[in-house]
């Protein structure tokens, strides 16, 4: 095994642990994560039954056509491999794909409602178009994949899977995990807001302004006291 692959395996296990610790995970802990191997049409994939207490022994290496190159992928995990490979093919800049049944986000998926730009975080992290809803299709089926593909735009970083869960993706594992938390927090806030009149959408242009402002502070770097 190359040192690069070993580092990516370690990163995949760390990402699974961070998702579990974030709380944006269902009671069962079900979910799967993949990391693309740079420069190759391959990915590493969490083939275990849960992201909680995920073990390195459950990491599999697959080609982007779904062929298993190393390790084992049980039926339940195999059924959604095509969701991951679709995103690497459609969005070549993607470095990590994360699928969970995060409870609040999944509530919107079950209700067949998209998640809109209700929180400032959606602007800061470039989600001003919200999280669209892909119509239901059996897990990993051609219909499900077509439904996901239909919702992708250049700005899309997450898609709700109707009656199923949520799919997040980004250039790095850390950013994909962060998007998963941001989406879950927005869904949670909107559900709570329903008790006091409902969530209100921030206009997209203002969310874009929030992103530009955050970027300017990021560019300026950490501020420190001058001696």
pLDDT in tens, 71-112: 999 999 999 999 999 999 999 999 999 999 999 999 999 999
Cβ(109)–Cβ(159) under 8 Å?
Answer: no
Q: Give the residue-averaged pLDDT of 22-47.
A: 95
Mean confidence (pLDDT) of the chain: 94
Give the span between the Cα atoms of 21 and 24, in whole angstroms. Answer: 8
Q: What is the pLDDT of residue 5?
A: 84
Cβ-based neighbours of 126, under 8 Å, separated by 6 or more: 155, 157, 211
* pLDDT score recorded for residue 39: 92
Q: What's the whole-number mean pLDDT along residues 14-41?
A: 94
| Domain ranges, ordered by start, for the chain | 3-220
- Residues 6 or more apart in contact with residue 169 via CB below 8 angstroms: 87, 91, 94, 96, 97, 98, 157, 158, 176, 179
Q: How far apart are CA 184 and CA 46, in angstroms?
A: 21
User: pTM of the entire structure?
Assistant: 0.92
3-220: in CATH 3.30.565.10: no
Inform me whether the pLDDT recorded for 1 exceeds 70.
Answer: no
- CA 49 → CA 28, 32, 53, 158, distances in Å? 9, 8, 10, 22
Complete edge-to-edge strand list for the sheet that includes strand 59-63? 68-70, 59-63, 42-46, 31-36, 96-100, 165-170, 158-161, 133-134
Beta pairing, strands 133-134 & 158-161 = parallel
Q: What is the pLDDT of residue 9?
A: 94
170 and 157 Cβ atoms separated by less than 8 Å: yes
Residues 201/184, Cβ–Cβ less than 8 Å: no
C-alpha distance from residue 56 to each of 7, 35, 41 (Å): 12, 14, 21
* 113 confidence band (pLDDT: 50, 70, 90): very high
Residue pair 124/214 in contact (Cβ under 8 Å)? The answer is yes
pLDDT of amino acid 217: 87
Query: Span 30-40, mean pLDDT?
Result: 95
DSSP sequence for 83-96: HHHHHHHH-TT--E
pLDDT of residue 184: 98
140 phi-psi bin (left φ>0, alpha ψ -120 to 50, beta other):
left
Whether 3 has a pLDDT exceeding 80, the answer reads no
What confidence tens digit (pLDDT) does each residue in 137-158 have? 999 899 999 999 999 998 899 9
- φ, ψ dihedrals at 133, nearest 5°: -105, 120
């Amino acid at each position: 095994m190359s040192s690069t692959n070993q580092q990516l395996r370690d990163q995949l296990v760390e990402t699974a642990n961070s998702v579990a610790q974030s709380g944006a995970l269902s009671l069962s802990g079900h979910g799967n994560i993949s990391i693309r191997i740079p420069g190759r049409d391959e990915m590493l994939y969490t083939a275990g039954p849960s992201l909680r207490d995920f073990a390195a022994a459950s990491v599999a290496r697959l080609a982007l056509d779904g062929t298993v190159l190393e390790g084992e992928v049980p039926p339940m995990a195999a059924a959604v491999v095509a969701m991951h490979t679709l995103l690497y093919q459609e969005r070549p800049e993607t470095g990590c794909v994360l699928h969970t049944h995060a409870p609040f986000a999944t509530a919107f998926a079950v209700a067949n409602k998209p998640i809109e730009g209700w929180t400032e975080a959606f602007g800061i992290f470039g989600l001003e178009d919200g999280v669209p809803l892909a119509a239901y299709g059996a897990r990993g089926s051609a219909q499900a994949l077509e439904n996901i593909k239909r919702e992708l735009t250049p700005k899309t970083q997450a898609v709700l899977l109707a009656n199923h869960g949520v799919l997040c993706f980004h250039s790095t594992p850390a950013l994909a995990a962060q998007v998963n938390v941001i989406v879950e927090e927005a869904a949670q806030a909107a559900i709570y807001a329903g008790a006091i009149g409902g969530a209100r959408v921030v206009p997209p242009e203002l969310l874009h302004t929030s992103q530009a402002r955050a970027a300017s502070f990021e560019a300026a770097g950490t501020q420190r006291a001058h001696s």
